């Protein structure tokens, strides 16, 4: 066989589908064909590869008759997916091109984000000429630079979108309903293509074509064809295909698509748009949180404001370096202040030191702020997501945001996106009821999600509320009892009951929809937030709605830790995971098979982990009654860490342990202590995980461990 | 597999070894490290042990706020006993890898000098035919003034301790 191209193998497979018999031999032949195809696609993740793997997996369990149908369906799809995905050609881009692409990605990303924002505003109220012009410019700019970079597909798509905007600008159509939908979709596609471009550049391969883009270009052109044209006398359907697209004419096969496309495209979008332009004023005024007039005024103000604010683009690494150095400065400053030699000296010296302290702290704040970005961007994505998910679920949902200007650590904003997506999806899908149900319950037909951000104390609070059905305490409890998660249902507070939806396995879609319609991916949300050292709180009133409150630390760079000592070594335990520290009495201790020690505190039995043993530390205290036990908690599991002493609680700057020290899985990082030495930060999750494991296999492992 | 220490590797490879070296002492032997890879020397800081770290990694130190690993050459070179040096030094080396530069400390007993070593002075390391651990880290042997300097393959040493070179 040798090296046949994927395309040839797909052809071969298509032939097989027609020729093989519906029996075991036939299935085996199909399987072989698929295997070859998978081989040839290997190494380049693509939709084709995914589909082939999936098909082969399903083929294994299919009846011969179904098998042929299965493969032939797959072949049809495979044939439609164009070749580039299958064989990514390596492309060498010189550094200058990469620089240009990077700038292009950045600018276009900003532009599209702006466009999204404007489109959402336009959807809520009518478009202003300024907005239309701004949108036009966004696509125009993208087209211009993409043309320069020879990204023909992006050029065609932005060109077609620009043409639609042009029609709007010249007053030949309104930006509402179908046209708005088309432009919306175009921004989504462009964003996807920009992502693909970024990945292609990073991997040094050719940019794959995006089939959906061609289809959408067809739709846009079909839309344009319907526009009245003074200067153009040509037949409406072919006209838009020719004149404007000289620089990047799509392949002829695609030109055929628009002819087929218009009907379904307009059919899809026809339903919501008809209702959209008229009702918004009424719908919006009915909502408590969406005052219509100010929003229109604000819609323009931020645009002007962002134009005025000048920014400098700085390499993130430089900023990080500076933040790191300032962190060091703070440490040295505190070493100076606490040094014995200086404390007895003159008042002037102490004053100067005080000044120094203040300035370095200001400097640290300033540096930290350089790392922060407003949550605005993520919130905007959520607005978009709400719109899409709501539409898919057949619900009328709007997202109202507040406090978008709240700034957070850049890394956290990125990590926040995933959990928010899950939460917004859940809220749209399960939280908010269908319009009919809502009206029957005496609520406005349009559901409102409120996403807000604010600073409170030393934390950042992100809240997502919906005005939907709320969580059903009784049904959650019933399910939890069934699953054996809860013994004494009556004793639980509402908050404790709601926390149950985060239990892993509690959240698989089917089961949870039975209970409350909540919880898909909720354990993911919780894990993500806890990974950022935050917490998730839930409030819910049946019939009124649910509020998820994320409480997050201001930055990921600093951690509040408890410094402990074992033998001669010092370690940091994150304060957030510490439940208590105590010196046990003899009565509190018991053991299991002589090896596994247990601590009883207030009726709870907690396994003890000897840090000295786990980390091979010499010279640690062996008798728990003369040492200390720090009880830590992770994912609901409690473990008592046996340590010599607890030294102090302190805030430290987290540093990556970096490479070169192996897997180092028991540490989540390192920190510079006040004396300049390094303290390792213990990874409580891993340590707790260890105990659970030992716990489970304890019976089988006990004597093996004893033999050692 | 060992392409570095092959006695028949020819003059070209030894030729490429010529250049400036920082020499230092570990145990009773004198070693050389290509000067371009040395970033700085620091006096011994307190090294924090990292439990479960790979063999040969002594721990981590605070290099002006950066946490860098420190490698103990004794373990790699099969030199027995603890350092008896009164003034141990950490040589900070920076290596270029496909994943960006990495910085590592190398613990030695005493730093000697920076020396120019000509290709004529370099000989391939002999093989003692016992699959020797230590000699595979030696690129070549340089002799002058009756002294012998063993030229270290620091990249190989660091990648053998699972630094990102191998990753």
Which of B42, B45, B60, B92 is the best mutation test for A, with the most CBs of A within 10 A?
A: B60
Q: Confidence class of residue A343 from pLDDT cuts 50, 70 and 90?
A: low
Same structural domain, A331 and A346 = yes
> Long-range contacts of range A51-54, CB-CB < 8 Å, 24 or more positions apart?
A51/A77, A51/A78, A51/A81, A52/A78
For B51, which of A615, A656, A659 is closest by C-beta distance?
A615
Q: Do A660 and B69 count as a contact with CB atoms less than 8 A apart?
A: yes
Distances (CA, A) of A702 to A597, A643, A697, A698, A708: 12, 24, 8, 5, 11
Asked if the structure places residue B1 within a domain, the reply is no
Q: Which pLDDT score, from 0 to 100, does residue A305 have?
A: 40
Same structural domain, A499 and A579 = no
- Backbone dihedral region for residue A420 (phi beyond 0: left; psi -120 to 50: alpha; all else: beta): alpha
Q: Do A661 and B48 count as a contact with CB atoms less than 8 A apart?
A: no
Q: Do B102 and A659 count as a contact with CB atoms less than 8 A apart?
A: yes
Q: Is there a contact between A690 and A609 (Cβ–Cβ < 8 Å)?
A: yes
Same structural domain, A440 and A507 = yes
Q: Confidence class of residue B3 from pLDDT cuts 50, 70 and 90?
A: very low
Q: Across residues A662-681, what is the average pLDDT?
A: 82
Looking at the structure of chain B, the number of domains it has is: 1
The region of weakest confidence among A39-43, A167-171, A325-329, A445-449 is A39-43
Which of A202, A661, A670 is the best mutation test for B, with the most CBs of B within 10 A?
A: A661
Asked if the structure places residue A298 within a domain, the reply is no
Residues in chain B within 8 Å Cβ distance of A664: 50, 52-53
Which residues are A320's β-sheet partners? none
pLDDT of residue A565 exceeding 90, the answer is: yes
Q: Which pLDDT score, from 0 to 100, does residue B93 have?
A: 93
Same structural domain, A573 and A521 = no
pLDDT of residue A637 exceeding 90, the answer is: no
Q: How far is A708 from chain B (nearest CA, A)?
A: 19
What whole-number percentage of chain B has pLDDT above 90?
18
Same structural domain, A381 and A525 = yes
Same structural domain, A258 and A141 = yes
Looking at the structure of chain A, the number of domains it has is: 5
Q: Which pLDDT score, from 0 to 100, does residue A169 have?
A: 78
Asked if the structure places residue A273 within a domain, the reply is no
Return the half-sphere exposure (C-beta side, CA atoms, 13 A cut-off) of residue A606.
Answer: 29
Enclosing domain of residue B78 = 7-160
Task: State the Rg of chain A over Cα.
Answer: 31
Q: Is there a contact between A56 and A38 (Cβ–Cβ < 8 Å)?
A: yes
* Higher per-residue confidence, A412 vs B80: A412
pLDDT of residue A34 exceeding 70, the answer is: yes
Residues in chain B within 8 Å Cβ distance of A662: 50, 52-54, 57, 162
DSSP B77: H
ipTM of this predicted structure: 0.80
pLDDT of residue B9 exceeding 80, the answer is: no
- Backbone dihedral region for residue A262 (phi beyond 0: left; psi -120 to 50: alpha; all else: beta): alpha
CB under 8 Å to A246, separation ≥6 — which residues?
none
C-alpha A551: how far from chain center: 17
Dist. CA B140–CA B129, nearest whole Å: 16
Q: Do A662 and B53 count as a contact with CB atoms less than 8 A apart?
A: yes
Q: Which pLDDT score, from 0 to 100, does residue A276 have?
A: 37
Chain B interface includes A656 (CB < 8 A):
yes
Q: Is there a contact between A240 and A163 (Cβ–Cβ < 8 Å)?
A: yes
Which residues are A399's β-sheet partners? A449
Q: Which pLDDT score, from 0 to 100, does residue B2 have?
A: 42
Q: Confidence class of residue A386 from pLDDT cuts 50, 70 and 90?
A: confident
DSSP A617: -
Q: Is there a contact between A466 and A426 (Cβ–Cβ < 8 Å)?
A: no
Same structural domain, A185 and A148 = yes
Q: Which pLDDT score, from 0 to 100, does residue A44 have?
A: 62
Q: Do A655 and B102 count as a contact with CB atoms less than 8 A apart?
A: no
CB under 8 Å to B83, separation ≥6 — which residues?
B74, B107, B109
The region of weakest confidence among A18-32, A180-194, A392-406, B95-109 is A18-32
In chain B the first and final C-alpha atoms are separated, in Å, by: 19
Residues in chain A within 8 Å Cβ distance of B61: 678
* CA-closest candidate to residue A183, choices A169, A197, A195, A196: A169
Q: Confidence class of residue A513 from pLDDT cuts 50, 70 and 90?
A: very low
Residues in chain A within 8 Å Cβ distance of B64: 325, 328
Same structural domain, A532 and A384 = yes
Asked if the structure places residue A246 within a domain, the reply is yes
CB under 8 Å to A8, separation ≥6 — which residues?
none
B59: closest chain A residue by CA: A661
Which of A566, A659, A679 is the best mutation test for B, with the most CBs of B within 10 A?
A: A659
Asked if the structure places residue A105 within a domain, the reply is no
State chain A's maximal CA–CA distance in angstroms: 99
CATH of the domain at A545: 3.30.565.10
* Higher per-residue confidence, A464 vs B133: A464
Which two structure tokens, joined as six digits, stand for A494? 């509402």
CATH of the domain at B39: 2.40.50.180
Asked if the structure places residue A702 within a domain, the reply is yes
Which two structure tokens, joined as six digits, stand for A95? 């550094």
Q: Which pLDDT score, from 0 to 100, does residue A481 have?
A: 78
CB under 8 Å to A603, separation ≥6 — which residues?
none
pLDDT of residue A508 exceeding 50, the answer is: no
List, as ranges, residues 52-81 from B with C-beta within 8 Å of A: 52-54, 57, 60-62, 64-69, 71
Classified as helix, coil or strand, B131 is: coil
Q: Which pLDDT score, from 0 to 100, does residue A573 have?
A: 92
C-alpha A612: how far from chain center: 38
Same structural domain, A613 and A674 = yes
Dist. CA A472–CA A479, nearest whole Å: 11
DSSP A625: T
Enclosing domain of residue A692 = 558-707
| Beta-strand pair A645-655/A596-601 | unpaired
Q: Confidence class of residue A263 from pLDDT cuts 50, 70 and 90?
A: very low
Angle (CA) A418-A421-A427 rounded to 5° is 145
Sheet bearing B102-108, strands edge to edge? B38-43, B89-95, B102-108, B66-72, B57-63
Residues in chain A within 8 Å Cβ distance of B65: 324-325, 327-328, 331, 655, 672
Q: What is the pLDDT of residues B105-134, one digit of tens each?
A: 999 988 999 989 888 888 888 776 666 566
Rounded to the nearest 10 degrees, the angle between the axes of helix A47-60 and helix A64-80 is 180
* CA-closest candidate to residue B31, choices B107, B138, B103: B138
Q: What is the pLDDT of residues B39-78, one digit of tens each?
A: 999 887 788 988 888 878 888 998 877 889 999 888 877 7
pLDDT of residue A643 exceeding 90, the answer is: yes
Chain A interface includes B105 (CB < 8 A):
no
The region of weakest confidence among A249-258, A565-574, B75-84 is A249-258
Chain B interface includes A316 (CB < 8 A):
no
| Beta-strand pair B147-152/B29-34 | parallel
Same structural domain, A361 and A379 = no
* CA-closest candidate to residue B4, choices B75, B12, B20, B13: B13
| Beta-strand pair B19-26/A678-682 | unpaired
Chain B interface includes A680 (CB < 8 A):
yes
CB under 8 Å to A575, separation ≥6 — which residues?
A559, A560, A561, A562, A649
Dist. CA A205–CA A264, nearest whole Å: 35
* Higher per-residue confidence, A560 vs A245: A560
* Higher per-residue confidence, A307 vs A31: A31
Asked if the structure places residue A274 within a domain, the reply is no
Classified as helix, coil or strand, A168 is: helix
Residues in chain B within 8 Å Cβ distance of A335: none
- The 10 Å CB-count burial string (b at 16+, else e) for B34-55 is beebbbeeeeebebbbbbebbe
Domain boundary among A553, A574, A589: A553
Q: Across residues A364-377, what is the average pLDDT?
A: 81
In the predicted model, what is the mean pLDDT of chain B?
79
Dist. CA A162–CA A170, nearest whole Å: 12
A329: closest chain B residue by CA: B65
* CA-closest candidate to residue A607, choices A599, A615, A618, A595: A599
Q: What is the pLDDT of residues A581-632, one digit of tens each?
A: 999 988 888 887 767 788 888 888 888 988 888 888 888 888 888 899 999 9
In the predicted model, what is the mean pLDDT of chain A?
74
Asked if the structure places residue B92 within a domain, the reply is yes
The DSSP annotation for A83-118 comes to GGGTSPPB----HHHHHHHHHHHHHHHHHHHHHHHH
Asked if the structure places residue B2 within a domain, the reply is no
Q: Which pLDDT score, from 0 to 100, does residue B161 have?
A: 63
Same structural domain, A548 and A574 = no
Same structural domain, A439 and A503 = yes
Which residues are A569's β-sheet partners? A566
* CA-closest candidate to residue B159, choices B110, B99, B108: B99
Q: Which pLDDT score, from 0 to 100, does residue B32 have?
A: 92
């Amino acid at each position: 066989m040798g090296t046949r191209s994927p395309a040839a193998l797909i052809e071969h497979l298509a032939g097989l589908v027609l020729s093989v018999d519906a029996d075991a031999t036939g299935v085996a032949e199909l399987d072989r064909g698929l295997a070859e195809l998978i081989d040839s696609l290997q190494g380049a993740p693509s939709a084709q590869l995914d589909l082939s793997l999936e098909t082969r997996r399903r083929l294994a369990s299919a009846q011969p008759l179904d098998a042929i149908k299965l493969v032939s369906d797959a072949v049809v799809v495979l044939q439609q997916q164009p070749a580039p995905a299958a064989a990514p050609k390596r492309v060498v881009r010189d550094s200058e091109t990469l620089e240009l692409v990077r700038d292009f990605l950045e600018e276009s990303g900003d532009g599209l984000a702006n466009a999204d924002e404007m489109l959402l505003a336009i959807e809520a109220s009518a478009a202003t000429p300024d907005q239309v012009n701004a949108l036009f410019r966004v696509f125009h700019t993208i087209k211009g630079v993409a043309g320069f970079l020879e990204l023909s597909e992006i050029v065609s798509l932005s060109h077609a979108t620009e043409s639609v905007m042009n029609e709007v600008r010249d007053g030949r159509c309104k930006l509402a309903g179908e046209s708005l939908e088309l432009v919306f979709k175009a921004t989504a596609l462009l964003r996807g293509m920009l992502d693909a471009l970024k990945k292609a550049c990073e991997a040094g391969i050719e940019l794959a074509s995006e089939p959906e883009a061609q289809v959408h270009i067809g739709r846009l052109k079909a839309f344009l064809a319907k526009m009245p044209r003074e200067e153009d006398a040509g037949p409406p359907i072919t006209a838009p295909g020719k004149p404007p697209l000289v620089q990047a004419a799509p392949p002829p096969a695609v030109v055929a698509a628009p002819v087929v496309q218009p009907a379904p495209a307009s059919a899809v979008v026809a339903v919501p748009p008809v209702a959209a332009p008229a009702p918004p004023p009424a719908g919006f005024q009915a909502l408590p949180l969406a005052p219509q007039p100010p929003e229109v005024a604000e819609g323009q103000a931020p645009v002007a404001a962002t134009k005025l604010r000048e920014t400098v683009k700085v390499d993130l690494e430089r900023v990080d370096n500076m933040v790191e150095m300032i962190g060091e400065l703070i440490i040295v400053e505190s070493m100076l202040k606490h040094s014995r030699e200086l404390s007895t000296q003159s008042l002037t010296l102490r004053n100067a030191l005080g000044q120094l302290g203040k300035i370095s702290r200001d400097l640290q704040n300033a540096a930290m702020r350089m790392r922060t970005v407003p949550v605005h961007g993520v919130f905007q994505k959520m607005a978009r997501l709400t719109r899409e998910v709501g539409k898919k679920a057949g619900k009328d949902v709007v997202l109202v945001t507040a406090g978008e200007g709240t700034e957070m650590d850049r890394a956290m904003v990125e990590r926040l996106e995933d959990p928010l997506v899950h939460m917004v999806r859940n809220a749209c899908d399960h939280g908010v009821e269908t319009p009919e149900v809502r009206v029957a319950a005496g609520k406005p037909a349009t559901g409102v999600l409120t996403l807000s951000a604010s600073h409170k104390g030393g934390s950042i609070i992100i809240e997502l509320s919906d005005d939907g059905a709320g969580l059903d305490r009784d049904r959650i409890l019933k399910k939890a009892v069934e699953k054996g998660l809860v013994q004494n249902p009556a004793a639980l507070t509402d908050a404790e009951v709601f926390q149950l939806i985060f239990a892993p396995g509690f959240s698989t879609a089917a089961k949870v929809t039975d209970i409350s319609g909540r919880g898909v991916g909720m354990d993911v949300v919780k894990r993500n937030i806890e990974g950022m050292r935050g917490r998730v709180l839930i409030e819910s009133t049946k019939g009124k709605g649910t509020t998820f409150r994320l409480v997050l630390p201001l930055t990921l760079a600093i951690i509040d830790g408890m410094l402990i000592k074992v033998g001669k070594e010092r370690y940091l335990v994150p304060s957030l995971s510490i439940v208590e520290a105590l010196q046990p009495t003899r009565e509190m201790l018991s053991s299991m098979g002589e090896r596994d020690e247990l601590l009883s505190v207030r009726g709870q039995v907690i396994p003890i982990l000897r840090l000295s043993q786990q980390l091979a530390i010499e010279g640690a205290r062996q008798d728990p009654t003369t040492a200390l036990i720090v009880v830590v908690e992770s994912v609901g599991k409690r473990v008592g860490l046996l340590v010599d002493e607890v030294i102090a609680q302190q805030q430290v700057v987290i540093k990556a342990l970096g490479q070169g020290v192996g897997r180092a899985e028991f540490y989540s990082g390192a920190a510079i202590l006040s004396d300049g030495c390094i303290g390792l930060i213990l990874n409580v999750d891993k340590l707790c995980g260890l105990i659970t494991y030992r716990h489970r296999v304890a019976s089988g492992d006990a004597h093996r461990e004893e033999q050692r | 597999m060992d392409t570095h220490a092959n006695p028949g590797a020819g003059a070209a490879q030894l030729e490429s070894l010529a250049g400036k070296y920082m020499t230092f002492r570990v145990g009773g032997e004198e070693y050389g490290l290509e000067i371009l890879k040395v970033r700085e020397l620091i006096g011994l800081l307190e090294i924090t042990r990292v439990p479960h770290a790979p063999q040969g990694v002594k721990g981590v130190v605070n290099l002006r706020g950066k946490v860098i690993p420190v490698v103990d050459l004794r373990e790699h070179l099969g030199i027995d006993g603890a350092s008896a040096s009164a003034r141990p030094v950490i040589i900070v080396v920076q290596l270029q890898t496909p994943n960006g530069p990495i910085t590592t400390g190398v613990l030695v007993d005493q730093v000697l000098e920076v020396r120019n070593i000509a290709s004529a002075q370099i000989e391939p390391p002999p093989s003692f035919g016992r699959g020797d651990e230590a000699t595979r880290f030696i690129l070549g042997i340089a002799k002058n003034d009756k002294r012998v300097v063993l030229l270290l393959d620091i990249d190989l040493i660091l990648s053998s301790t699972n630094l990102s070179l191998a990753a």
